[in-house]
Amino acid sequence: MESRKIKDLLYEQVARVGKAASSPKRLELLDLLSQGEKTVEALASAASIDIKLASAHLKVLKEGRLVEARRDGRFIAYRLAGADVAGLWVNLRTVAEEHLVELRVALGQIFAAPERLTAETRISLLDKARQGKVIVIDVRPEIEYRAGHLPFARSMPLAEIERHLPDLPADKEIVAYCRGPFCLMSDEAVRLLRKRGYRASKISDGVAEWVMQGLPLDVSPLT
Amino acid sequence: MESRKIKDLLYEQVARVGKAASSPKRLELLDLLSQGEKTVEALASAASIDIKLASAHLKVLKEGRLVEARRDGRFIAYRLAGADVAGLWVNLRTVAEEHLVELRVALGQIFAAPERLTAETRISLLDKARQGKVIVIDVRPEIEYRAGHLPFARSMPLAEIERHLPDLPADKEIVAYCRGPFCLMSDEAVRLLRKRGYRASKISDGVAEWVMQGLPLDVSPLT
DNA sequence: CTTGCATTCTATCGGTTATTAGAATGTTGT
DNA sequence: ACAACATTCTAATAACCGATAGAATGCAAG
């Protein structure tokens, strides 16, 4: 029967997307690309893999049409093929968190200990940030902040957070975020801030999770 | 560094889900299971694969915690691990349709030719169905209809559609649906109905796409 | 033309996968 | 006890994959 052959073809196409999402390193690359466009070099170093291996993985992602490449001077910059790809990544991760006990255990080991983190609902956080009752800090590298960040958040990259500490009012509540639930930078920031006497906590949201809730982002124009 | 090892572990877990979705046959099984619980035998025959191979694929799906097994008499019935899994499948397929040209071409070959199909928006269809202005028919096997179907739809399995033709008012507009965008049954039904002089068209939605829009289903109690 | 970034090609290693098949096992209903 | 369903084990083939490495190529900036 011919309809069978056609059907196989259809599922085969979707499997290209699934195949792109079937490797841990590729998922890590997707997660990184959700923070904005990045060069191969930046991706390879962030995922701590060889640049040739990064190229190979990016090729698979490109074959599944999840990412696109753009030439920028002597670099090649990769970006997600669309906002729906970031949504797919969040969807995949959410389903995994929902059904894979091992993942919940691993997440619990990271984020429950040693500090206790209070959960903030997104809307009330947005309100409090707008009113200046809390300071929301984005501890990712500044280039990711500029590509898109939570409203009212200020950039305070973890790498140089010590330098910016004087800018932080000591009496305000601090809320840190970074790349998402799998990112440890905001935990490190909270640990550091508390040691200095700040009232600090983190949210697990990154920008991808934020937009999936239908909430807006801010984009910084070039300085 | 230890954080790197932990991070790899996290992405590895999500990759289990991606791996489950990286094979055409497994996606076909997911699509079938979106229509309701099914036995291994039913799945194997519907996907036209060996029963042992179906077992193997289901094992991978179970390892990714996308499906669960339940003993029912001398059969073993598989079902999706949750509604979010059906959502993930639709999400995967939607992203693929959005970015893979080959898939859009293949879909166009099936559904644009030879009959022209008018698109109905879901809400207006629901209204017209409620008011009896159109007859919505579910051409899937009756067991899938009973597991959940569009509101106001009547079961009219493609295999026995000829027998039920006398029940159809000749002056009403008929709208057929089946398992979703990759399913050919509704096309076949439309072709058949038009040959008999009915005004018939199809929608590409299946129940999974319907619920993803936040719309309700009906479930038939056992007869 | 030289330098630096990125890709490609080559090859290799070890490991996994899909598929088919035959035989055995376990479970359940009759 | 027997028949039916499903899974497991074994085995075999063929194909593919992740990772790594060396060498070559393409491309753009200076």
Q: For residue range A128-173, what is the model confidence (pLDDT) as tens digits?
A: 999 999 999 999 999 999 999 999 999 999 999 999 999 899 889 9
**Tens-level pLDDT at each residue, chain B (223 residues):** 445 578 888 999 999 999 999 999 999 999 999 999 999 999 999 999 999 999 999 999 999 999 999 998 889 999 999 999 999 999 999 999 999 998 988 888 877 654 444 455 788 899 999 999 999 999 999 999 999 999 999 999 999 999 999 989 988 999 999 999 999 999 999 999 999 999 999 998 999 999 998 889 999 765 4
**Cβ contact A60 with chain D strand, < 7 A:** yes
Nucleotides, chain D, CB distance < 7 Å: 3-9, 17-23, 27-29
User: How many CB atoms sit inside 10 A of residue B37's CB?
Assistant: 17
Size of interface A-B (CB pairs under 8 A): 147
Tell me how close the Cα of B70 comes to any Cα of chain A, in angstroms: 17
Q: Which nucleotide is nearest to A69 (CA to C1')?
A: C6
Return the closest nucleotide (C1') to the Cα of A72.
Answer: D28
Read off the pLDDT of residues A42-67 as tens digits, 9 standing for 90 and up: 999 999 999 999 999 999 999 999 99
User: What structural domains does chain B harbor?
Assistant: 2-86 (1.10.10.10), 114-212 (3.40.250.10)
Reported in sequence order, the residue ranges of chain A that DSSP labels E, i.e. its strands, are 38-39, 67-72, 75-80, 134-138, 153-155, 173-177, 199-202
CB contact burial A36-60 (16+ within 10 A = b; e otherwise): bbbbbebbbebbebeeeebeebbeb
B73 beta carbon < 7 A from strand C?
Answer: yes
Of the CA atoms within 13 Å of residue B172, those in its CB half-sphere come to 17
* Cβ of A83 near strand D (distance < 7 A): no
User: Is position A183 annotated as part of the catalytic site?
Assistant: no
Mean pLDDT of chain A: 90
Out of A14, A21, A27, closest to residue B27 by CB: A14
Q: Do B23 and A13 touch (CB under 8 A)?
A: no
pLDDT of residue B221: 66
The torsion defined by the Cα of B103, B106, B110 and B116, in degrees rounded to 10, comes to 80
Option in B84, B103, B182 nearest A7 (CB): B182
Given this model, what pLDDT does residue B121 score?
78
CA dihedral B109, B115, B119, B125 (to 10 degrees): -130
- Active site residue ranges of B: 178
Cis bond upstream, residue B216 (ω within 30): no
- Contact (Cβ atoms closer than 8 angstroms) between residue B151 and residue B216: yes
**How much is the pTM?**
0.91
Nearest CA-CA partner of A100 in B132, B11, B160: B11
CA-angle at A2, arms to B185 and B173, nearest 5°: 25
How far, rounded to the nearest angstrom, does the alpha carbon of residue B211 sit from its chain's CA centroid?
A: 11
Are B76 and B70 spatial neighbours (Cβ–Cβ below 8 Å)?
yes
Which residues lie closer than 8 Å to A191 by C-beta, 6 or more apart? A115
CA A28/CA A95 separation, integer angstroms: 16
